[in-house]
Amino acid sequence: MKTRHLITLCLLCCGVAAAFTACNKKAAQTAPAAEQKTTEAPAPAADQYIDIELPSPYGSPLRVSDYVAKNKYTLIDFWASWCGPCRAEMPTVVKAYADYHAKGFEVVGVSLDNDHDAWVNAIEELHMPWPQMSDLRGWDCAGARTYNVNSIPSNVLVDQQGRIVARDLRGNDLLNKMAELLQ
């Protein structure tokens, strides 16, 4: 009887651990080694962002540079509809947007989705009013490759001059940074 409970507990723990790593590129890759890319795009310079141009949910091209030029700060937010931690983090991003958008803060979502309908539904469900882009190539997303994104959620905060101000701000760190910058 104890053995059966121990096995059940082990299986449960493995399932929970798998759920927490599901948004990690290395854990999510299931293609045979021959199909996986072995080269990564060069990381952006430590202080300057690299522009991304990808389709919007409606198919029209969007460029991050269009938003960087118009706003004091732009958060490039890497996420996906299937990513539990991304969905859990989104209320904080929505709050930051609501609190600071009028003061010059913009968010541009870069989705690592493969499924257009799931992506569009998540945008609506999570109440994300900011611009969204995706090439629907999952982990092979050109935007994610540009910034060497290997796990999500991930983000890059850029100022109006194109300088990277911060990376991977989550929860109160995002809210505190925006309060510091836009008070």
Q: Please give the structure tokens belonging to residue 47.
A: 């202080």
The structure tokens listed for 124 are: 């609506």
pLDDT exceeds cutoff 80 at 82: yes
**Looking at residue 101, what DSSP letter applies?**
G
Alpha-carbon distance of 130 to 109, in angstroms, equals: 7
CA distance 158 to 172: 18
Per-residue pLDDT tens digits for 145-183: 999 999 999 999 999 999 999 999 999 999 999 999 998
What Å distances lie between residue 154 and 13, 32, 60, CA to CA? 26, 26, 24
- Report pLDDT digits (tens) over 97-125: 999 999 999 999 999 999 999 999 999 99
pTM to 2 decimal places = 0.78
- Count CB neighbours of 48 within 10 A: 11
Map out the domains of the chain as residue ranges.
43-181
Residue from 108, 111, 102 nearest 130 by CA: 108
**Are the C-beta atoms of residues 116 and 136 closer than 8 Å to each other?**
yes
Q: Supply the CATH classification number for the domain 43-181.
A: 3.40.30.10
